[in-house]
Amino acid sequence: MAKQAVVGINEVVFTVLRTLLLDLPLVTAKRGFGMAEKRAVTETAWKGYDASIRLGSASIDRLYGNRLLGGLLVRSGHGLLRWQRLNNAAMGAFFAGLWRATDLPTATEVNAVREELRALAASVKAQGEKIEALIDRPVRSKASHSPKVARPIAA
């Protein structure tokens, strides 16, 4: 079985190298001289892509099938999880104390300020629209019956 897997990977490596180093440059040169269609270049490029994907899959399969790596991952998994928990607890305690010491706002406080700013911006926009409506409204004068438009005083 192991010998068959090695032969399979060797064939895939050979296909990748032949496609990328021989077939693709040859077809591209033929295309440059007008001797090949664009379709031939595309097909050759896809052939190289497929071969490289097969090579990657075969390499990963062999890596996961390695008993040494599997044993190492099993033994180190519990230790890594313990270190992760310890790190999370230490960082949580450190930053909680740092946050209080620097008197920085929390995410809830920052979000509350953002909401207040949005409400204030909406209020200012509404007031601006009211002012624009009042400026553009025609004003009637007793002296003449033609409507006049009130304009803001230039500063």
What pLDDT was estimated at residue 19?
83
What pLDDT was estimated at residue 105?
83
Give burial (CB, 10 Å; 0-12/13-18/19+) of 20: middle
What pLDDT was estimated at residue 142?
55
What pLDDT was estimated at residue 3?
55
Task: With a cut of 70, list the residues of the chain below it in pLDDT.
Answer: 1-7, 139-155
CA distances from 55 to 3, 12, 19, 46, 152 (A): 16, 6, 13, 14, 75
What pLDDT was estimated at residue 96?
78
What pLDDT was estimated at residue 10?
81
Domain map (residue ranges) of the chain: 2-65, 107-155
Q: What single DSSP character describes residue 138?
A: E
SS3 state of residue 144? coil
CA distances from 149 to 77, 126, 152 (A): 79, 21, 10
pTM over 0.95: no
What pLDDT was estimated at residue 135?
84
